C-alpha cells in the first residue's frame, strides 16, 4: 500500500511532510488496527473486538514486534479512544459514553464506576492482545526446559556410557571426550582437546580412521571400523568405531563417534579360530585313521575271509563271499566319509572337484540330484578354499536335512575381485530370524558359517521364504590376502 501523507507522527516515527510515497510499516498498520478495534470495544464491549485484539497480537509476533512496542501502540490508542470519552466535549457540555450495546448515551456526569469500567476494559483489551506473547513465552520457557532436560540426559548418557564417546571438528581435532574415553586412553579431557584423533590411532590404523571420517563428512554412511588406539602410556586398545555427523544450522560442523572396546571379542574370535584349526586337524587325523587304518584292517579281513572261503565247501564259501560284498560297501562308505571329513581332494585338486565329490556323496545318500555349475574356477589360497568348503558343506547338509527339496544347485564363480558361491534348493524354506534367535533348538551351522567366513573376510547372505526354497550366497574378496594369512599365520 502506498499513499502520500502530510507531515505527521505515526507510531512514534516522524514522517516528513510533502508529497512523497509512504509505505507504512507493519507496526503502523497494526497501530491503526489496534486503535480502531479498541475504540470499537469501548463502545460495544463485543467479543469480536477482543478477537481482533488477539489477532493483532499474533501478527505483531510474526512481524517481529516486541511487548514494549505493543504497549506504546496501546498508549497511543488510549489517547485516541479513551481520553475523549473521559474529557467533556466543550460544545455540548455533556459526556457521551457507551451504553454497552454499541450505542452511546449522553450523560452530564460520568459516574466513578463508569470511568473505572472504561479503564478496566481498555486493560482487558491490552491483555487479550498480549495473550499470544504470553503463550509464545510459555512455549519458549517449556521448550527451553525440554532442551535443558534433554541436554542433561545427553550429558548423563555421555558421561556414564561404558563406551568411549567423543566429538571432533571436521578435521578430527578433539572437542570433547567422555569419562570412559579419559579412563581408557589415559588422556584427560584438556589434554585430549589439544590433540587430533589421528594422534591417538596406531600408525597402521590412521589411514582407515581418516578414510572413515572423510567418507562420513562426504555424506556417506561407512560401516563400523575396527582400529587400534594407543593410550597415553603406550598400550594398545582395539576398538570398533561408529561415527556420525553433528550439524549446526543444517551444516555439518563436527563428528560424534562411539568407540567400543573389542579386546574381549577379538580374544573370543582368536580362540574360535584356534578351535576351528584344532578341529580341522582332528578331522584330518580321524579321516586318515578311517581311510588308512580302518581301510588296512578291512583289506586284511578281506584276505582272511578269502582264505576261509577257499577252505570251506562251495556252498558255505559262496556265503562268505557274500559277506565280502558287504565289506566292499563298508569300505566304500568309509572312504567317502573320510573324504567328507577332511577331503584330501581339496588339498590336491581344489574347491570345485572337492565340492563335486561332496555333492555326489550327498546326492547318493539322499536321492536328491545336485547340479554343479563351476566355470573357470582356479585355485585359491588354502585357508579360503578350506573355509568355503566347510561353509558350502554346511549349506548342502542343511538343504538335505531340513529343506525337503527335490533339487539343489551349486554355483562357483570367480569374478572381478571376488569369489562367489551359491547353494540353492527348491525346498520348504525357513525364517532366518527365527532360526538365529530361537533358543530352544538353535543349531550352530548358520552361526559357524558366518564365523568361518569372517576369518577370510567373506560374507554370507541367506535368502529364504516359506515354500520358495533357500539361497545361500557366499562371497569372498580375492585381494584380501590379510584375512587369508590370518588363518595360516
Ligand atoms: N536350506 C534350508 N531349508 C530349510 N530350513 C533350513 C535350511 N537351512 C537351515 N534351515 C533351518 O535353520 C535352522 C538352523 O540351521 P543350523 O544349520 O544353524 O542348525 P541345524 O542344521 O539345525 O543344526 P547343526 O547345523 O548345528 O547340526 C535349521 O534347524 C532349519 O530349521
Ligand atoms: Mg545345520
- Where residue 11 falls among pLDDT bands split at 50, 70, 90? very low
- Where residue 294 falls among pLDDT bands split at 50, 70, 90? confident
Written as one string, the DSSP assignment of 74-121 is HHHHHHHHTHHHHSPBTTTTBEEEE-SSS-EEEESS--HHHHHHHHHH
CA distances (Å), origin 331, targets 63, 303, 355, 364, 467: 96, 14, 21, 16, 38
pLDDT at position 151 is 86
Written as one string, the DSSP assignment of 375-396 is ES-----HHHHHHHHHHHHHHH
In whole angstroms, what is the distance from residue 384 CA to residue 455 CA? 9
Structure confidence by residue, pLDDT tens digits, 213-264: 888 888 888 788 899 999 999 999 999 999 999 998 888 899 999 999 998 8
pLDDT at position 107 is 67
Q: Helix, strand, coil: what percent of the chain each, to 5?
A: 55, 20, 25
Atom of ligand 1 lying closest to residue 398 CA: 8
- In this predicted structure, the answer to whether residue 190 has a pLDDT above a threshold of 90 is yes
Choice from 362, 409, 435 to test ligand 1 binding pocket (greatest atom count within 8 A of CB): 435
Q: Whose CA is nearest to atom 25 of ligand 1?
A: 445
Rounded distance from Cα 432 to ligand 2 centre (Å):
12
Nearest residue to 487 (alpha-carbon basis) of 459, 451, 460: 451
- In this predicted structure, the answer to whether residue 451 has a pLDDT above a threshold of 60 is yes
In whole angstroms, what is the distance from residue 106 CA to residue 84 CA? 13
Structure confidence by residue, pLDDT tens digits, 20-36: 555 668 899 999 999 99
Rounded distance from Cα 421 to ligand 1 centre (Å):
18
DSSP three-state, residue 448: helix
Ligand at minimal distance from the CA of 440 is 1
Structure confidence by residue, pLDDT tens digits, 194-214: 999 999 999 999 998 888 888
477: left (phi over 0), alpha (psi -120 to 50) or beta: beta
Q: Are 172 and 198 in contact (CB under 8 A)?
A: yes
* More confident of the two residues 331 and 167: 167
* More confident of the two residues 152 and 438: 152
Q: Whose CA is nearest to atom 9 of ligand 1?
A: 398
In whole angstroms, what is the distance from residue 345 CA to residue 355 CA? 9
pLDDT at position 438 is 72
What percentage of residues in the chain have a pLDDT greater than 90?
A: 43
In whole angstroms, what is the distance from residue 133 CA to residue 66 CA? 9
Ligand at minimal distance from the CA of 368 is 1
In whole angstroms, what is the distance from residue 12 CA to residue 28 CA? 9
The CATH class for the domain spanning 161-261 reads alpha beta
Average pLDDT, the chain: 84
Fold of 346-489: Heat Shock Protein 90 (3.30.565)
Rounded distance from Cα 252 to ligand 1 centre (Å):
46
Residue boundaries of the structural domains of the chain? 3-141, 161-261, 266-342, 346-489
Rounded distance from Cα 462 to ligand 2 centre (Å):
13
What one-character DSSP code corresponds to residue 49? Answer: H
Amino acid at each position: 500500500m502506498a499513499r502520500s501523507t502530510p507531515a505527521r507522527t505515526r507510531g512514534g516515527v516522524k514522517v516528513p511532510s510533502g508529497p512523497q510515497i509512504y509505505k507504512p510499516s507493519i507496526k503502523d498498520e497494526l497501530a491503526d488496527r489496534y486503535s480502531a478495534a479498541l475504540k470499537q470495544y469501548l463502545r460495544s464491549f463485543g467479543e469480536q473486538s477482543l478477537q481482533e485484539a488477539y489477532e493483532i497480537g499474533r501478527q505483531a509476533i510474526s512481524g517481529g514486534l516486541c511487548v514494549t512496542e505493543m504497549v506504546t501502540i496501546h498508549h497511543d490508542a488510549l489517547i485516541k479512544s479513551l481520553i475523549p470519552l473521559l474529557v467533556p466535549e466543550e460544545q455540548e457540555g455533556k459526556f457521551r459514553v457507551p451504553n454497552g450495546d454499541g450505542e452511546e448515551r449522553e450523560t452530564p456526569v460520568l459516574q466513578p464506576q463508569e470511568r473505572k469500567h472504561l479503564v478496566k476494559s481498555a486493560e482487558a483489551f491490552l491483555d487479550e492482545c498480549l495473550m499470544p506473547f504470553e503463550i509464545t513465552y510459555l512455549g519458549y520457557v517449556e521448550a527451553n526446559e525440554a532442551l535443558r532436560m534433554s541436554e542433561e540426559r545427553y550429558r548423563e548418557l555421555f558421561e556414564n556410557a561404558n563406551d568411549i564417546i567423543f566429538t571432533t571438528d571436521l578435521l578430527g581435532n578433539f572437542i570433547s571426550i567422555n569419562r570412559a574415553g579419559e579412563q581408557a586412553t589415559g588422556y584427560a579431557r584438556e589434554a585430549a582437546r589439544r590433540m587430533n584423533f589421528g594422534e591417538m590411532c596406531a600408525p597402521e590404523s590412521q589411514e582407515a580412521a581418516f578414510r572413515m571420517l572423510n567418507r562420513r563428512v562426504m555424506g556417506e554412511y561407512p560401516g563400523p571400523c575396527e582400529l587400534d588406539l594407543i593410550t597415553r602410556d603406550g598400550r594398545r586398545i582395539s576398538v570398533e568405531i561408529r561415527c556420525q555427523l553433528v550439524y549446526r544450522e543444517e551444516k555439518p560442523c563436527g563428528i560424534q563417534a562411539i568407540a567400543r572396546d573389542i579386546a574381549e571379542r577379538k580374544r573370543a574370535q582368536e580362540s574360535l579360530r584356534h578351535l576351528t584349526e584344532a578341529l580341522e586337524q582332528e578331522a584330518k587325523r580321524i579321516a586318515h585313521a578311517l581311510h588308512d587304518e580302518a581301510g588296512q584292517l578291512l583289506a586284511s579281513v578281506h584276505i582272511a575271509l578269502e582264505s576261509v572261503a577257499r577252505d570251506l565247501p562251495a556252498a558255505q564259501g559262496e556265503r562268505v563271499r557274500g559277506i565280502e560284498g558287504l565289506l566292499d560297501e563298508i569300505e566304500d562308505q568309509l572312504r567317502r566319509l573320510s573324504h567328507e571329513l577332511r577331503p584330501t581332494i581339496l588339498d590336491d585338486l581344489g574347491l570345485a572337484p572337492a565340492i563335486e565329490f561332496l555333492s555326489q556323496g550327498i546326492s547318493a545318500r539322499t536321492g536328491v540330484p545336485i547340479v554343479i555349475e563351476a566355470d573357470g574356477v582356479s585355485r585359491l589360497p588354502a585357508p579360503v578354499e578350506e573355509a568355503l568348503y566347510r561353509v558350502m558343506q554346511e549349506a548342502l547338509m542343511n538343504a538335505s536335512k531340513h529343506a525337503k527339496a527335490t533339487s539343489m544347485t551349486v554355483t562357483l564363480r570367480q569374478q572381478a575381485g571376488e569369489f562367489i558361491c551359491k547353494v540353492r534348493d527348491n525346498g520348504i524354506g525357513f525364517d532366518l530370524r527365527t532360526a538365529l534367535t530361537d533358543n530352544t533348538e538353535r543349531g550352530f551351522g548358520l552361526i559357524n558359517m558366518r564365523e568361518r567366513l569372517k576369518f577370510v573376510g567373506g560374507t554370507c547372505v541367506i535368502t529364504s521364504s516359506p515354500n520358495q526354497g533357500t539361497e545361500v550366497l557366499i562371497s569372498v574378496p580375492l585381494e584380501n590376502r590379510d584375512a587369508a594369512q590370518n588363518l595360516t599365520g
